[in-house]
């Protein structure tokens, strides 16, 4: 059996609840992705990892599973330029959340509040049906390293 992160039970329960089988391939993908709760990884790296472990697995199957995982809230996806990145859900109890992302090391920190109310108040006659909020900068460790080089 594959060793998975603490939240793997939540992920497996979500897969089962939506009628998806718990295959060796999905278990390995969950295990691999669970290493990326605090940083995004390029989807092509996930594809390479899976095809190294399961040479007969198609690109379409890998990408479809990533999409299924994203639709179920197991992973979070985002676009960076012309490529997609993904990270394992960092908070299964509060799937709606936002991030600070370090531009230097890629570390992702979860924000504890949603700014939607602030914007809703500024748009009283509008209906907001979706949003995404990310802050970018340098984490404390990277700021310290940058200061050491100054």
90 assigned ligand-binding residue: no
The CA-atom distances, in angstroms, between 11 and each of 32, 51, 89, 142 are 13, 22, 9, 32
CA angle 135, 90, 77 (to 5 degrees): 65
Interatomic CA distance for residues 57 and 24, integer angstroms: 12
Structure tokens at 81: 């330029």
| Upper half-sphere CA count for residue 139 (Cβ side, 13 Å) | 16
31 assigned ligand-binding residue: no
Given a contact cutoff of 8 angstroms between Cβ atoms, the answer to whether 66 and 43 are in contact is yes
139 assigned ligand-binding residue: yes
142 assigned ligand-binding residue: yes
> How many other β-carbons are positioned within 10 Å of the β-carbon of residue 85?
20
114 assigned ligand-binding residue: no
Which residues are part of a known binding site for Fe cation?
96, 131
Report the binding-site residues: 96, 102, 105, 131, 139, 142
Per the annotation, where are the binding residues for Zn(2+)?
102, 105, 139, 142
């Amino acid at each position: 059996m594959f060793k998975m992160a603490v939240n793997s039970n939540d992920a497996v329960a979500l897969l089962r609840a939506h009628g998806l089988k718990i295959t060796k391939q999905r278990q390995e993908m969950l295990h691999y992705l669970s290493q990326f709760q605090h940083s995004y990884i390029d989807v092509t790296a996930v594809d390479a990892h899976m095809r190294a472990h399961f040479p007969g697995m198609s690109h379409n199957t890998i990408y479809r599973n990533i999409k299924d995982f994203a639709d179920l809230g197991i992973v979070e996806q985002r676009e960076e330029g012309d490529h997609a990145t993904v990270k394992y859900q960092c908070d299964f109890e509060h799937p709606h959340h936002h991030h600070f992302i370090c531009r230097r090391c890629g570390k992702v920190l979860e924000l504890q509040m949603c700014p939607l109310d602030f914007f809703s108040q500024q748009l009283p006659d509008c209906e907001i049906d979706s949003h995404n909020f990310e802050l970018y900068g340098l984490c404390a460790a990277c700021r310290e390293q940058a200061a050491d080089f100054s």
